[in-house]
Amino acid sequence: MKKPIQFETGCAHCNVRIHSVFNVLESDQMNEMVMHKSCSTYKKGQYVFAENGLPTGLFCVNSGKIKITTTGFDGKEQILRLAKSGDIVGYRALISNERYASSAVTLEDATICIIDKAFFFKTMESTPKLMFEVVKKMSRDLKEAEDHILSLSQKNVRERMAEALLFLKATYGFEEDQKTIGVSLTREEIADYVGTSTESCIRLLSEFNQDKLIVLNGKKISIINLPMLIQTANIVD
């Protein structure tokens, strides 16, 4: 496994911090944080942390896209969550004082900071606002997980596939053309989120393509009929 390359930067000027849980920190706390974090670059496909590893700190994504995955009993991968710039990653195991139950892998080249465990815990204790930000993040992730449970439990593969495309769009947005989903996943990765086989995933994307809901161009997926895609997903609200 390739090693990430480390370097140091200040947090005060970090343009990502504004959109992260650390936005609530005072400037003196921020200056202190610089001494308790380090920043690394990762190539596409590298592990940020791996299942069963011990957390040593909190990861905060500066740039790049990350998938959080766990492994089923026959080795099949399950994508649980996706992260982007400004998101904290690996907080659950850290807070629960457990080994990682999932892995984090970069979907493209990324820059990620790791904040020292002791400093993070100390700051959380002294700054209820920070802890509250973490609580709110966890709350959103829990809501998302429960939506996913409902979907996996009650919807068919076609509906889930449409929903997955909408989820990807909601998470990463569109590219400049305002229709191409801002992340490139393999068909297998999409299947690993949707909970279906790679073949079924490929077939359904082709169908959506034929039905003029989307346009496929390699790994690039463009949504050209959003209302119809929403209808296909059978969204409640």
The answer to whether the CB of 14 falls within 8 A of the CB of 80 is no
Shortest gap between Cβ of 47 and DNA (angstroms)?
Answer: 15
Give yes or no for residue 24 binding a second copy (CB under 8 A).
no
By rule CB under 7 A, what string of x and - marks binding of each residue 183-222 to DNA?
Answer: ---xxx------xxx-xx-xx-xx---------x-xx---
Give yes or no for residue 146 binding a second copy (CB under 8 A).
yes
Give yes or no for residue 72 binding DNA (CB under 7 A).
no
Nearer to a second copy, 109 or 144 (CB): 144
CA distance 147 to 142: 9
Give yes or no for residue 145 binding a second copy (CB under 8 A).
yes
For the chain, the C-alpha Rg in angstroms (whole number) is: 19
The token duo for 186 is: 């393999």
Q: Classify the C-alpha dihedral 165-166-170-171 as positive or negative.
A: negative
Shortest gap between Cβ of 147 and a second copy (angstroms)?
Answer: 8
Q: What are 40's strand-pairing partners?
A: 6, 112
The answer to whether the CB of 115 falls within 8 A of the CB of 16 is no
Report strand pairing: 5-7 vs 110-116: unpaired
Q: Which of residues 135-174 bind DNA (CB under 7 A)?
A: 156-158
Give yes or no for residue 117 binding a second copy (CB under 8 A).
no
CA distance 53 to 93: 10
Query: Rule CB under 8 A: which residues touch a second copy?
Result: 70-74, 76, 78, 80, 92, 95-96, 101-102, 124-126, 128, 131-132, 134-136, 138-143, 145-146, 148-150, 152-155, 195, 234-236
